[in-house]
Amino acid sequence: MMLIQDTIVSLEVLEKEFCCDLEHCKGCCCIEGDAGAPVTEEEECTIQALLPELLPQMTKEAREVVEQQGIAYNDPSGERVLSIVNDKDCIFARTDHNGWCYCLIEKMYTGQQAAEAGKQAVPFKKPISCHLYPIRLTRVGERVGVEYHRWDICHSSRQLGHKLHLPLYKFLKEPLIRRFGQQWYDELCLTADEWQKAKNQ
């Protein structure tokens, strides 16, 4: 573990190699699993405000879930997570005619859906827990833990990351800066360089 400002970062974040292999997995992390993606109170409010734009794009089953329990619920651990359909699919996930899974919120963010509707893109990309995956944030006492989560469906992404020699923390540069800031990320990179030099001595 490494201490970066007020966070505790797992060494796996520095050492593991990873790069999403969407050509292989087609975004199946949005439609697999037994719980929704963690969401903050602020994110839930933001998504709720976007809901009128999202609902027409959602599946009938997803709209029914929202009607019954809302866009989020408390999982068994008490954590607030996005609602899911059939105990696995995120309510904001859709699949195109090629079998690719995509996020309706992210589609609005990129402007793709907005352009089709003649509207402005939204400034919210998606919940930070989705953006950071396969990093997960935990509580370690009073600090935030930054940990690598290994999932079988990401096997090809680990292989691609190894082929590209791409460390996890570099692959996730954008969401890490989004969550912790540029100064935190610069300190993480410096720590990673020092750690690698120490290993090579």
Residues whose CB is less than 8 angstroms from the CB of residue 170 and which lie 6 or more positions away in sequence, other chains included? none
Distance between CA atoms of 43 and 103, rounded to whole angstroms? 15
Mean pLDDT of 133-159: 90
Which of 125, 149, 171 lies at the terminal end of a domain, its last residue?
A: 125
Handedness of CA 122, 124, 130, 132 (dihedral sign): positive
Q: Does 144 reside within a domain?
A: yes
Q: Please indicate, yes or no, whether residues 38 and 116 belong to a single structural domain of this protein.
A: yes
For the segment 63-97, what is each residue's pLDDT rounded down to a tens digit?
999 999 999 999 888 899 999 998 889 999 998 88
pLDDT > 70: percent of the chain: 92
CA 34/CA 63 separation, integer angstroms? 19
Per the structure, the count of domains in the chain is 2
Cα(16)–Cα(187) distance, integer angstroms = 18
Is residue 3 located within the same domain as residue 40? no
Residues 12 and 56 both lie in one domain: no
Instruction: Name the β-bridge partners of 93.
Output: 103
119 and 34 co-located in one domain: yes
Please spell the DSSP secondary structure of 55-94, one letter per residue: GGGS-HHHHHHHHHH-SEEE-TTS-EEE-EETTTEETTEE
Residues 86 and 11 in one domain: no
Domain that holds residue 34: 30-125
Closest CA to 130 of 152, 113, 149, 158: 149
- Check residue 148 and give its pLDDT: 95
- The distance of Cα 193 from the centroid of its chain, to the nearest Å, equals 25
Three-class HEC string of 5-20: CCEEECHHHHHCECCC
Mean pLDDT of the chain: 88
- Structure tokens, 115: 């352009």
What are the pLDDT digits (tens) for 12-43? 999 999 999 888 877 777 767 667 899 999 99
Residue 134: is the preceding peptide bond cis (ω within 30°)?
Answer: yes
Q: Which of 42, 34, 28, 48 is nearest to 93 (CA)?
A: 28
Instruction: Kindly report the pTM of this predicted structure.
Output: 0.87
